[in-house]
Structure 1
Amino acid sequence: MSTRVKNRTAKSIGLTWSLAITLAAVLVPFYWLVIAATHSSKEIFTSPPPLLPGGHLLDNLGSLQEKADFGRVVLNSLGIATVYTLTAGVICTLAGYGFAKFDFKGKEALFGLLMLGLVIPSQVTLVPLFRLMAELTWLDTYQAVILPNLALPFGIFLMRQSMSTLPNELLDSGRVDGCGELRLFLRVALPPMRPALAALAIFLFLFQWNEFIWPLTVLRSESALTIPVALASLQGVDDTDYGAILAGTAIAALPMAALFLALQKHFVSGLLAGAVKE
């Protein structure tokens, strides 16, 4: 066997082991989460920790429902995340299309100002937004959770980069044929953007599904809580039911896993859209 073949084989083996270790580092915490959700709090903290399923899953789910009305909480999170994803998706797509395909005075300055939102911590705007919601009497309402982050800078940036790859000649030919701007957007611009839209949908849903600080700030009643806030409320000072918390965390991971599996064919290509210009 030649030296070149040996080097190639060694690189292949090294890459395989690296990928295996990375995969294990990603999957092992999820495996332990599912296993821990089937054990009591006392069993979770035994040494060594349990590695096989236990018999307390139904007890943990019952405790979770009793303490947090978790069925209602899941519906709250699903409703908020779904409405947010659809509404923010429309806004980000329209804004990205406008920045990519229209020329207007101050476009670059406005886009640069928008991108500043990527580097400003959300905690900076927490107090002004809270005062605004209080003035509008929207505290403890779902619109207070959904509306402030609809024009998400990263979503607009992603769609702007994706829309930039759409040939201008294609749009011009549609205008020559008498196609209006709205119809041009819906019939010509959107169909090639399906991978980018799938990536945007996953990102927006994940962003809202995992949001904690803002819902914690504006939601007051237990019947309106989202999953992260409800799970955090189960952590007490003297007594914490970790079995119930981990069972709720495992349930919270299911919708994101299902969404990603449904859209995984488009996700990577959507994120890479606009990365290279011909």
Structure 2
Amino acid sequence: MFCGATNPSIDIIRGKLIPGTYLLENLKTLLDNQNLLLALWNSVKNSVIVTVLTLLVCSLAGYGFEIFHDKYKDRLMSVLLIAMMLPFVATIVPLFKMFSKMHLINSTAALILPTISTPFMIMLFRQSARSFPHDIIEASRLEGLGEIRIFFTMFIPVMRSTYGAAATVTFMNAWNSYLWPKIIFQSNDSITMPMLVANLKGGYFVDYGMLMLGVLICTLPTAIIFLALQKSFANGITGAVK
């Protein structure tokens, strides 16, 4: 992919697998034909908002399900786990009709709301909360701390590995999301990087050099996030608590 981004299309078709000197030309062609900066900004903005809200909502839900046990909450958690078996494509039509009636089509809210609370993330935080020392909660309550303050000052710092793993997965999913943004956004001003890359393959001729450069730019943010948080990702997935 990197070598292709530095070569003209004809060399890629011929199978050239060494870096070339055509990177700036491919970048200029990409900037001239596509609104690259707008797509980057939209993807970064949407992914960051989705990641922050998902971590907040799902961690609160997972913490509440585990710390405050109740038979009705356990039944509700079972329903959420069953919902994991339902593919997202099966809910696209009712979601679109619902947001259309709410007049939220082509809005950031329509993109964010279906994704900020997922059964997998709630289950991840609930499982992690099981390893959270309950002695800390009891001691904090004796000191007069409220439940919300215990969550923000005690739970979040201790479970930072879980937050790192959840942030990695959520950001990558939000960044690579294509189908739902393509359906919900009906304006060129809302284009995202996956949508931009898909547009590069349209028409009767494909500039493979420009296409490889677009894919490379689309891949870099998720690769950087994963490399930066890989230790937290490994610890969070295995349930390590420090």
Instruction: Report the Cα offset of residue 232 of structure 1.
Output: 0.7
How many Å separate the matches in 2 of 1:140 and 1:246? 29
Deviations 1:195-248 (A, max 9, x none): 000001001100100001101111121121111111112212411222212101
One-letter amino acid of the structure 1 residue matched with residue 181 of structure 2: P
TM-score (norm 2): 0.95
The runs of 4+ residues in structure 1 deviating greater than 3 Å are none
Q: Tell me the CA shift for residue 108 of structure 1.
A: 1.6
Contact 2:4-2:209 at 8 Å conserved across structures: yes
The Cα offsets for residues 125-154 of structure 1, whole Å up to 9 and x where unpaired, read as: 000011112112221222211111110111
Computing the radius of gyration from Cα coordinates, the structure with the larger value is 1
How far 1:57 sits from its partner (Å)? 1.3
Taking the aligned partners of 1:35 and 1:52, their CA distance within structure 2 comes to 6
State the shift of 1:274 in Å.
Answer: 6.9
2:36 corresponds in structure 1 to 70
Which amino acid counterpart does residue 50 of structure 2 have in structure 1?
Answer: Y
Amino acid at match of 1:238: Y
Which residue identity does 2:84 align to in structure 1?
L
Q: Which structure 2 residue ranges, 5 or more long, are not aligned?
A: none
Paired with 1:38 and 1:222, the residues of 2 have a C-alpha distance of: 28
* Partner SS, residue 113 of structure 2: helix
Q: Counterpart of 1:43 in structure 2: which amino acid?
A: D
The reply to whether residue 199 of structure 1 matches residue 189 of structure 2 is no
Matches within 5 A, 1:16-165: 33-46=1-14, 49-165=15-131
| Identity of matched residues, % | 34
Q: Which runs of 5+ in 1 are unaligned?
A: 1-32
CA distance in 2, matches of 1:233, 1:138: 25
Q: What does residue 151 of structure 2 align with? A: 185
CA distance in 2, matches of 1:134, 1:154: 27
The equivalent residue for 1:220 is 186
Partner AA of 1:55 in structure 2: T
* 1:190 CA displacement: 1.4
Q: Give CA-to-partner distance per residue, 1:22-52, whole Å, 9 cap, x none.
A: xxxxxxxxxxx11111112221111xx2121
- The structure 2 residue matched to 1:174, chosen from 129, 140, 151, is 140
- Give the total of aligned pairs: 241
